[in-house]
Amino acid sequence: MSGTKVGKPTVVVVFNQKGGIGKTTTSVNLAVCLAALGRKVILVDLDAQSNATTSVGLSSPAATGAYQLLRGEVDVAHACRPTPYPNLRLVAGSDDLSWADVEIAVKPDPQYVLERALSTTPDDVDVVVIDCPPAFGILSVNASVAADVVILPVVPSPMALDGLHKAWWNIQRVRTHFNRDLDTMGILFTMTEESDLMHRLTEAIMASFGGRVLPVMIPRDMKVIEAAARDLPLVVLDPETPAAVAYQRLAEVVLTRLIGKGELTLPATSRDDVAELLRQWRKPRPDSGQPGALPPVRESPPMEAGPAPSPNWDEDLTNTVDDIPMVSGLGWKIGVAVLLVALGSVLGFAFGRWMYLGV
């Protein structure tokens, strides 16, 4: 395999400072597609929300995962756990990652903690895909320092465009100060749809970033929501849905353009063969019921009802508002302000007549 660092797995980091733009969906589906293409892949979940972890079928908290790896308690091999998908292993996220920023910050050279941890990756691993939290904290800095490739998902929208510029600037700062080998970055359009506004925004981003924009667009697809609810990667739930097809194409682009840089050839496997393999991976979980059934939709826990309002709650609220005293004589201050505004208007009018009419 031709990678950016000889003898080491290629580290692909998926990052953006804005949430809700398909970052975790991209990480999970890219990792699964790379595994379907025959690569040995490890998916690292650095987000305390652990959505990448649940998306590959781990519903219970992991006793050992990314947090323990960052603390130096285990190496990569012992931090990994198998997934239902051949060739893909997982370093799970957990709630403990919420404290990792504080704990890592006091270590010597804290920006290199993850890079040192990943140096223990087994030799048989081809690609490490890292799902970052949606903020440029110490965990995302560590991922960027360890990265060979950075993918920035972005939804073509005005606010997302602003976030993209900030994320790009932060990644460039990491490259300047800590990771001079990071020269491969790509922008991935996600949740795209046909509209004039989206086309204009897409063109604006392409004009700003040129060849950094990847030649793949992930369309908006309601199947993504169903996949998340069933704790399945989209490409496993339905390999033929438009977004899943786009993610399969993204995996090919990552292998040939970002990792291989034109030198790496894809395995002699047609896209139909990959789609069929992904369908075979759609196996039921042990607790999903009947053989062949999809994992059930995960139900959200019911919210606890608040206290019931009193029978006269609206009258009580009105009386409470009426009883609020005017702070520091606020009423007379407002009156004086109104008078000053009126006086200023009169004086301004008189001054204008004197200046321009001489009367």
DSSP 257: I
- Nearest by Cα to 72 from 48, 103, 94, 40: 103
- Nearest by Cα to 35 from 214, 269, 296, 220: 269
Give tens-digit pLDDT for 283-336: 655 554 544 556 666 655 555 666 676 776 666 656 655 554 554 455 555 666
Contacts of residue 354, defined as CB under 8 A and 6 or more positions apart, other chains included, come to none
Strands 127-131, 41-45: parallel, antiparallel or unpaired by DSSP? parallel
pLDDT of residue 3: 39
Other beta carbons less than 10 A from residue 338's beta carbon:
10
- Global confidence as pTM: 0.78
Mean pLDDT of 345-353: 61
Other beta carbons less than 10 A from residue 305's beta carbon:
6
Sign of CA dihedral 343, 349, 355, 359: negative
Determine the Cα–Cα distance for residues 42 and 258; give it in Å rounded to an integer.
17
Determine the Cα–Cα distance for residues 148 and 254; give it in Å rounded to an integer.
12
Determine the Cα–Cα distance for residues 131 and 53; give it in Å rounded to an integer.
10
User: What's the token pair of residue 291?
Assistant: 């053989």
pLDDT of residue 208: 83
User: What's the token pair of residue 131?
Assistant: 């799902």
* Terminal CA-CA length for the chain: 90
Strands 80-82, 88-91: parallel, antiparallel or unpaired by DSSP? antiparallel
Percent of the chain exceeding pLDDT 70 equals 74
- 188 three-state secondary structure: strand
Select the highest-mean-pLDDT range: 38-42, 56-60, 160-164, 264-268: 38-42
Minimum mean pLDDT among 115-119, 146-150, 177-181, 321-325: which range? 321-325
User: What's the token pair of residue 69?
Assistant: 């790896």
138 pLDDT exceeds 70? yes
| Helix 271-280 × helix 242-253 angle, to 10° | 120
Higher pLDDT, 22 or 158: 22
Query: Using an 8 Å Cβ cutoff, are 81 and 62 in contact?
Result: yes
210 sits in the region (left: phi over 0; alpha: psi -120 to 50; else beta) called left
